[in-house]
């Protein structure tokens, strides 16, 4: 008696990829909001949102490019979690928060 055939055709990795994209878009919205309320003449405050925007754009591009590979691995039951992308999004939120605090303090 062998193992049953997997019935999922790859919806889980697609949902995960879409959740990364939704999170990235919301973080980019926060970056735009931070840029909107920057004090005039404070070029140092641009560093945090610029780094965060670059990180988030990189995660989004990586997620889009690796979606088919992840779906193939999932179908072969050899998928690994996207810990790096999640960690980069978490770091970007922390960095954006710290740059917001920098703007408020100075």
Within a domain: 50: yes
pLDDT digits (tens, 9 = 90+) for 73-92: 877 878 788 888 889 999 99
**pLDDT, averaged across the chain:** 83
Distances (CA, A) of 53 to 7, 8, 15, 70, 93: 38, 34, 23, 24, 10
Nearest to 86 by CA among 36, 14, 39, 20: 20
Within a domain: 4: no
Q: Which residue range forms the structural domain that includes residue 21?
A: 11-34+42-105
Stated pTM of the model: 0.76
Number of domains in the chain: 1
- Answer whether residue 19 shows pLDDT above 60: yes
CA-based torsion, 61, 62, 66, 71: positive or negative: negative
Residue found under tokens 């740059």: 99
The pLDDT of residue 7 is 58
Do residues 63 and 17 touch, judged by C-beta distance below 8 A?
Answer: yes
Within a domain: 22: yes
């Amino acid at each position: 008696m062998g193992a049953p055939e997997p019935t999922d055709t790859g919806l889980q990795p697609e949902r995960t990829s879409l959740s990364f994209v939704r999170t990235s878009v919301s973080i980019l919205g926060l970056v735009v909001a931070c840029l909107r309320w920057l004090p005039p003449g404070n070029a140092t405050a641009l560093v945090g949102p610029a780094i965060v925007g670059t990180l988030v754009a990189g995660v989004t591009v990586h997620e889009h490019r690796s979606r088919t590979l992840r779906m193939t691995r999932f179908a072969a039951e050899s998928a690994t979690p996207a810990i790096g992308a999640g960690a980069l999004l978490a770091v970007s939120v922390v960095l954006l928060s710290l740059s917001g605090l920098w703007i408020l303090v100075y």
